[in-house]
Amino acid sequence: MELTVTKMRLFLKTLSVVMFIIVIAPSYAHARLQVVATLPALGQVAKAVVGEDGDVRILARVGEDPHFVPPKPTLARHLARADLLLTVGLALEAGWLPSLIEFSRNPKIRPGQSGLLVGSENIEVLGAMEHADRSMGDVHPEGNPHWWLDPIRVANLSIALARRLAAIDPENGERYLRRAELFAKQLNDLVKLWIPKFEGFSPVVTYHDSYRYFVERFGINVIGYVEPKPGVEPSIRHLDDLVRLIGARGVKQVWVEPYHHGRVARRVASLSGAELLAMPDAVTGEGGEGYLAMIMKLLQSSLEEAQ
């Protein structure tokens, strides 16, 4: 009987230790800085700044349309642990992110709180409109949201991100700022090197106005869109006019996002003789090297196919 009681006491003691570990484990796991980014490219930028001083999770996947990300419960769990949420802004994530933030029950990442960093609020925005209505298609009246395709705007964002992280985690603040400055220098050097390569570059046609920040940075002229208006299916007449324009202006390339690489875009390229290029807004890769790989993919694909 004594042996049984002893075993029971040992069991209860062991159980209490296990339960204690289970209860406190989340707090220990959360001791490291937790950053969540909405898009892969933003996650790579965040990792370039955070480095080994924290963890970065990404909500959208490479190749996924950033306007339409399925709001899965796992994504809400990522947000529940976040010390900082990095978003694009300009209503790009408006269709799926607010519900995830609500379900996360994390007060730190709600609008107006220090744990929410909206990227568009830290860069110069293009394409803002004073008046917009549904007849204009799925426009973003606050401005074109695809700013992460411009390395210089991303360089500016990385500095803003480092400053916000330093305020949240002062102990590692200097390290965040140092990494951001190094990353920003890489991006600025890359732009200076590549801008001259696009002098005299042929005009292009794109599916959607996703590349505005990229083409304006590198001096590329976009003369038409497969979509007559954002989110509006093109008519036969519009496509016929576009094919004639491509021929008349000597357009060599039609750019599409990977999630718009469908029948309509292929038909335009086939009828016009232009090269159809899938130009990604995200690629796989870790940290700053991943973001740089995306920009290099855009740059190299443009020049290689134009030759």
Residue-wise pLDDT for 153-176, tens only, equals 999 999 999 999 999 999 999 999
Provide the percentage of residues in the chain whose pLDDT is more than 70: 85
Architecture of domain 29-193: 3-Layer(aba) Sandwich (3.40)
Quote the pLDDT of residue 140.
61
Quote the pLDDT of residue 235.
95
Mean pLDDT of the chain: 88
- Mean pLDDT over 105-112 rounds to 97
pLDDT > 90? residue 5: no
Question: Is pLDDT larger for residue 225 or for residue 28?
Answer: 225
Quote the pLDDT of residue 139.
55
Quote the pLDDT of residue 138.
55
* 153 contacts 147 by C-beta, under 8 angstroms: yes
Quote the pLDDT of residue 231.
79
pLDDT bin (cut points 50, 70, 90) of residue 259 is confident
pLDDT > 70? residue 90: yes
Quote the pLDDT of residue 11.
34
> Does pTM surpass 0.75?
yes
pLDDT > 60? residue 288: yes
pLDDT > 50? residue 24: no
pLDDT digits (tens, 9 = 90+) for 119-136: 999 999 998 766 655 545
β-strands 204-206, 222-225 pairing: parallel
Quote the pLDDT of residue 195.
97
pLDDT bin (cut points 50, 70, 90) of residue 8 is very low
Where are the domain boundaries for CATH 3.40.50.1980 in the chain?
29-193, 194-306
Q: What is the dihedral of CA 80, 81, 84, 89, to 10 degrees?
A: -30
Quote the pLDDT of residue 237.
96
pLDDT digits (tens, 9 = 90+) for 185-200: 999 999 999 999 999 9
- Mean pLDDT over 220-224 rounds to 97
Quote the pLDDT of residue 262.
85
* 45 contacts 157 by C-beta, under 8 angstroms: yes
Quote the pLDDT of residue 133.
57
Instruction: List C-alpha distances in Å: 123 to 113, 193, 298.
Output: 19, 22, 21
According to CATH, the superfamily of the domain at 194-306 is: Nitrogenase molybdenum iron protein domain (3.40.50.1980)
Angle at 177 between CA 144 and CA 28, to 5 degrees: 100
pLDDT > 90? residue 81: yes
Residue found under tokens 């940290």: 287
pLDDT bin (cut points 50, 70, 90) of residue 264 is very high
